[in-house]
Chains A and B, each alone.
Chain A
Amino acid sequence: NAGVMQNPRHLVRRRGQEARLRCSPMKGHSHVYWYRQLPEEGLKFMVYLQKENIIDESGMPKERFSAEFPKEGPSILRIQQVVRGDSAAYFCASSPRLPGVTGSGNTIYFGEGSWLTVV
Protein backbone atom coordinates (compact mmCIF):
# COMPACT_ATOMS: atom_id res chain seq x y z
CA ASN A 1 0.00 0.00 0.00
CA ALA A 2 2.29 2.70 -1.32
CA GLY A 3 2.05 6.16 0.14
CA VAL A 4 2.37 9.46 -1.67
CA MET A 5 5.38 9.15 -3.95
CA GLN A 6 7.50 12.14 -4.82
CA ASN A 7 10.48 12.39 -7.11
CA PRO A 8 13.12 13.43 -7.31
CA ARG A 9 13.87 13.47 -3.60
CA HIS A 10 16.72 15.88 -4.12
CA LEU A 11 17.24 18.24 -7.02
CA VAL A 12 19.98 20.75 -7.65
CA ARG A 13 19.43 23.46 -10.24
CA ARG A 14 21.44 26.46 -11.32
CA ARG A 15 19.79 29.86 -11.28
CA GLY A 16 17.67 30.32 -14.38
CA GLN A 17 17.03 26.63 -14.97
CA GLU A 18 13.70 24.86 -14.68
CA ALA A 19 12.71 22.48 -11.90
CA ARG A 20 10.03 19.81 -12.30
CA LEU A 21 8.77 17.98 -9.27
CA ARG A 22 6.50 14.97 -9.62
CA CYS A 23 3.92 13.53 -7.27
CA SER A 24 1.93 10.32 -7.49
CA PRO A 25 -0.93 10.32 -4.97
CA MET A 26 -1.89 7.37 -2.87
CA LYS A 27 -3.94 4.75 -4.69
CA GLY A 28 -7.56 5.81 -4.85
CA HIS A 29 -6.81 9.45 -4.04
CA SER A 30 -7.98 12.03 -6.53
CA HIS A 31 -7.08 15.22 -4.65
CA VAL A 32 -3.52 16.53 -4.63
CA TYR A 33 -1.97 19.43 -2.72
CA TRP A 34 1.44 21.05 -2.87
CA TYR A 35 3.06 22.74 0.12
CA ARG A 36 6.41 24.49 0.42
CA GLN A 37 8.63 24.45 3.50
CA LEU A 38 11.38 27.00 3.69
CA PRO A 39 14.30 26.29 6.06
CA GLU A 40 13.28 26.60 9.71
CA GLU A 41 9.69 27.44 8.78
CA GLY A 42 6.33 25.74 8.72
CA LEU A 43 4.63 24.47 5.62
CA LYS A 44 2.85 26.94 3.37
CA PHE A 45 -0.02 25.92 1.11
CA MET A 46 0.60 26.43 -2.58
CA VAL A 47 -2.07 24.73 -4.68
CA TYR A 48 -4.89 22.19 -4.60
CA LEU A 49 -5.72 20.13 -7.67
CA GLN A 50 -8.08 17.45 -8.79
CA LYS A 51 -7.67 15.51 -12.01
CA GLU A 52 -7.32 18.05 -14.85
CA ASN A 53 -8.50 20.91 -12.61
CA ILE A 54 -6.85 23.50 -10.42
CA ILE A 55 -9.21 24.05 -7.50
CA ASP A 56 -7.30 26.54 -5.37
CA GLU A 57 -4.02 28.17 -6.38
CA SER A 58 -4.17 31.04 -3.93
CA GLY A 59 -0.81 30.09 -2.42
CA MET A 60 1.11 29.94 -5.68
CA PRO A 61 3.53 32.72 -6.55
CA LYS A 62 2.15 34.73 -9.45
CA GLU A 63 5.09 34.12 -11.74
CA ARG A 64 7.33 31.19 -12.67
CA PHE A 65 5.31 28.57 -10.77
CA SER A 66 2.70 26.28 -12.29
CA ALA A 67 1.05 23.00 -11.38
CA GLU A 68 -0.95 20.37 -13.19
CA PHE A 69 -2.59 17.07 -12.46
CA PRO A 70 -3.36 15.42 -15.79
CA LYS A 71 -5.92 12.71 -16.39
CA GLU A 72 -3.10 10.21 -16.62
CA GLY A 73 0.17 10.36 -14.77
CA PRO A 74 1.52 12.22 -11.78
CA SER A 75 0.94 15.77 -10.66
CA ILE A 76 3.74 18.12 -11.70
CA LEU A 77 4.93 21.26 -9.95
CA ARG A 78 7.00 23.30 -12.36
CA ILE A 79 9.27 26.17 -11.42
CA GLN A 80 10.73 28.15 -14.28
CA GLN A 81 13.87 30.30 -14.10
CA VAL A 82 14.64 29.24 -10.55
CA VAL A 83 16.21 31.67 -8.10
CA ARG A 84 18.03 31.00 -4.84
CA GLY A 85 14.90 31.89 -2.87
CA ASP A 86 13.15 28.89 -4.40
CA SER A 87 15.43 26.57 -2.43
CA ALA A 88 13.06 24.68 -0.16
CA ALA A 89 11.39 21.37 0.50
CA TYR A 90 8.30 20.87 -1.61
CA PHE A 91 5.75 18.47 -0.19
CA CYS A 92 2.92 16.85 -2.04
CA ALA A 93 -0.11 15.48 -0.21
CA SER A 94 -3.22 13.63 -1.27
CA SER A 95 -6.66 12.77 0.04
CA PRO A 96 -9.33 10.35 -1.14
CA ARG A 97 -12.11 12.88 -1.58
CA LEU A 98 -13.06 16.37 -0.65
CA PRO A 99 -12.01 16.86 2.96
CA GLY A 100 -14.78 17.91 5.22
CA VAL A 101 -17.19 15.37 3.82
CA THR A 102 -18.80 13.57 6.70
CA GLY A 103 -16.60 10.85 8.07
CA SER A 104 -13.46 11.79 6.18
CA GLY A 105 -12.20 14.68 8.20
CA ASN A 106 -9.39 16.53 6.57
CA THR A 107 -7.02 13.60 6.55
CA ILE A 108 -4.44 14.30 3.96
CA TYR A 109 -1.29 12.25 3.64
CA PHE A 110 2.06 13.80 2.85
CA GLY A 111 4.87 12.46 0.76
CA GLU A 112 8.49 12.58 1.87
CA GLY A 113 9.19 15.74 -0.06
CA SER A 114 11.42 16.97 -2.83
CA TRP A 115 14.36 19.07 -1.67
CA LEU A 116 15.26 21.72 -4.23
CA THR A 117 18.60 23.49 -3.99
CA VAL A 118 19.31 26.38 -6.32
CA VAL A 119 22.98 27.20 -6.74
Chain B
Amino acid sequence: QQQVKQSPQSLIVQKGGISIINCAYENTAFDYFPWYQQFPGKGPALLIAIRPDVSEKKEGRFTISFNKSAKQFSLHIMDSQPGDSATYFCAASIGTSGSRLTFGEGTQLTVNP
Protein backbone atom coordinates (compact mmCIF):
# COMPACT_ATOMS: atom_id res chain seq x y z
CA GLN B 1 0.00 0.00 0.00
CA GLN B 2 3.04 2.20 0.32
CA GLN B 3 4.12 1.70 -3.28
CA VAL B 4 4.33 4.32 -5.96
CA LYS B 5 4.36 2.91 -9.48
CA GLN B 6 6.12 4.94 -12.17
CA SER B 7 6.15 4.58 -15.94
CA PRO B 8 7.72 4.47 -18.41
CA GLN B 9 11.09 3.19 -17.25
CA SER B 10 12.78 5.08 -20.07
CA LEU B 11 11.66 7.74 -22.50
CA ILE B 12 13.22 9.24 -25.61
CA VAL B 13 11.88 12.54 -26.89
CA GLN B 14 12.96 14.89 -29.64
CA LYS B 15 13.97 18.43 -28.77
CA GLY B 16 10.90 20.60 -28.54
CA GLY B 17 8.58 17.70 -27.82
CA ILE B 18 6.51 16.94 -24.75
CA SER B 19 7.77 14.45 -22.18
CA ILE B 20 5.11 12.74 -20.08
CA ILE B 21 5.85 10.58 -17.05
CA ASN B 22 3.11 8.89 -15.05
CA CYS B 23 2.80 7.72 -11.48
CA ALA B 24 0.11 5.85 -9.57
CA TYR B 25 -0.25 5.32 -5.86
CA GLU B 26 -2.38 3.20 -3.57
CA ASN B 27 -2.26 4.83 -0.17
CA THR B 28 -5.05 7.43 -0.02
CA ALA B 29 -3.36 9.00 3.01
CA PHE B 30 -0.61 10.41 0.80
CA ASP B 31 -1.04 14.17 0.62
CA TYR B 32 2.18 15.48 -0.88
CA PHE B 33 3.49 14.54 -4.32
CA PRO B 34 6.89 15.91 -5.39
CA TRP B 35 8.91 15.23 -8.49
CA TYR B 36 12.69 15.03 -8.33
CA GLN B 37 15.27 15.37 -11.09
CA GLN B 38 18.55 13.52 -10.79
CA PHE B 39 21.62 13.86 -12.99
CA PRO B 40 24.27 11.13 -13.04
CA GLY B 41 26.47 11.24 -9.96
CA LYS B 42 24.30 13.85 -8.27
CA GLY B 43 21.61 13.89 -5.63
CA PRO B 44 17.93 14.30 -6.43
CA ALA B 45 16.77 17.90 -6.74
CA LEU B 46 13.19 18.96 -6.11
CA LEU B 47 11.58 20.02 -9.37
CA ILE B 48 7.94 20.66 -8.59
CA ALA B 49 5.37 19.40 -6.08
CA ILE B 50 1.61 19.29 -5.66
CA ARG B 51 -0.95 18.68 -2.95
CA PRO B 52 -4.22 16.85 -3.70
CA ASP B 53 -6.41 19.92 -3.27
CA VAL B 54 -5.45 21.12 -6.76
CA SER B 55 -5.61 19.25 -10.07
CA GLU B 56 -2.74 20.98 -11.82
CA LYS B 57 0.35 23.00 -11.01
CA LYS B 58 2.61 24.67 -13.53
CA GLU B 59 6.10 26.06 -13.09
CA GLY B 60 7.74 27.19 -16.29
CA ARG B 61 7.93 24.26 -18.68
CA PHE B 62 7.01 21.75 -15.98
CA THR B 63 3.42 20.82 -15.13
CA ILE B 64 2.00 18.32 -12.68
CA SER B 65 -1.45 16.94 -13.38
CA PHE B 66 -3.18 15.26 -10.46
CA ASN B 67 -6.20 12.94 -10.57
CA LYS B 68 -7.27 12.20 -7.03
CA SER B 69 -10.07 9.77 -7.91
CA ALA B 70 -7.77 7.69 -10.10
CA LYS B 71 -4.87 8.04 -7.64
CA GLN B 72 -2.59 9.10 -10.44
CA PHE B 73 -0.34 12.04 -11.14
CA SER B 74 1.91 12.92 -14.02
CA LEU B 75 4.74 15.22 -14.98
CA HIS B 76 4.64 17.02 -18.30
CA ILE B 77 7.77 18.70 -19.65
CA MET B 78 6.90 21.08 -22.44
CA ASP B 79 9.42 22.07 -25.13
CA SER B 80 11.83 19.39 -23.89
CA GLN B 81 15.51 20.28 -24.17
CA PRO B 82 18.66 18.14 -24.24
CA GLY B 83 19.55 19.64 -20.86
CA ASP B 84 16.42 17.99 -19.44
CA SER B 85 18.00 14.59 -20.02
CA ALA B 86 18.08 13.06 -16.55
CA THR B 87 16.31 10.55 -14.35
CA TYR B 88 13.01 11.72 -12.94
CA PHE B 89 11.45 10.33 -9.79
CA CYS B 90 7.95 10.83 -8.51
CA ALA B 91 7.38 10.50 -4.80
CA ALA B 92 4.63 10.67 -2.23
CA SER B 93 4.42 11.21 1.50
CA ILE B 94 1.97 11.73 4.32
CA GLY B 95 2.53 15.31 5.31
CA THR B 96 1.87 15.39 8.99
CA SER B 97 3.71 12.21 9.95
CA GLY B 98 7.14 13.18 8.81
CA SER B 99 8.86 13.33 5.51
CA ARG B 100 9.28 9.67 4.71
CA LEU B 101 9.12 9.90 0.95
CA THR B 102 8.08 6.85 -1.03
CA PHE B 103 9.75 7.06 -4.42
CA GLY B 104 8.80 5.61 -7.77
CA GLU B 105 11.37 3.55 -9.63
CA GLY B 106 12.45 6.41 -11.87
CA THR B 107 12.24 7.33 -15.55
CA GLN B 108 15.37 7.88 -17.58
CA LEU B 109 14.59 10.70 -20.00
CA THR B 110 16.72 11.31 -23.07
CA VAL B 111 16.01 14.37 -25.19
CA ASN B 112 17.64 14.15 -28.59
CA PRO B 113 18.86 17.35 -30.24
Seen from chain A, the residues whose Cβ lies within 8 Å of a Cβ on chain B are 4, 31, 33, 35, 41-45, 48, 55-56, 58-59, 91, 93, 95, 98-100, 105-113
Contacts and interface: CB of A to CB of B under 8 A. Distances in A.
Contact of A41 (B41, B93, B94, B106): B106
Contacts of B6: 42
Contact of A43 (B51, B97, B103): B103
Interface residues of B, number: 27
6 contacts: A33-B100, A91-B43, A98-B98, A98-B99, A99-B32, A105-B51
Contact of B99 (A4, A33, A58, A113): A33
A48 B100 contact: yes
Interface in B73-113: 89, 93-106
Contacts of B43: 4, 91, 93, 110-113
A105 to B, nearest CB: 6
Output the residue of A44, A106, A113 with the most chain B CB within 10 A. Answer: A106
Contacts of A33: 99-100
Contacts, number: 75
B49 A43 contact: no
B44 interface: yes
B46 interface: yes
Nearest to B99: A99
Interface in B12-71: 32, 34, 36, 41-46, 49, 51
Given A42-B89, A43-B89, A106-B93, A99 B98 contact: yes
A100 B96 contact: yes
A100 B97 contact: yes
Contact of A106 (B44, B101, B103): B101
Given A105-B51, A110-B45, A113-B41, 8 more contacts: A55-B98, A99-B95, A99-B98, A99-B99, A100-B32, A100-B99, A110-B43, A110-B44
A111 B95 CA distance: 21
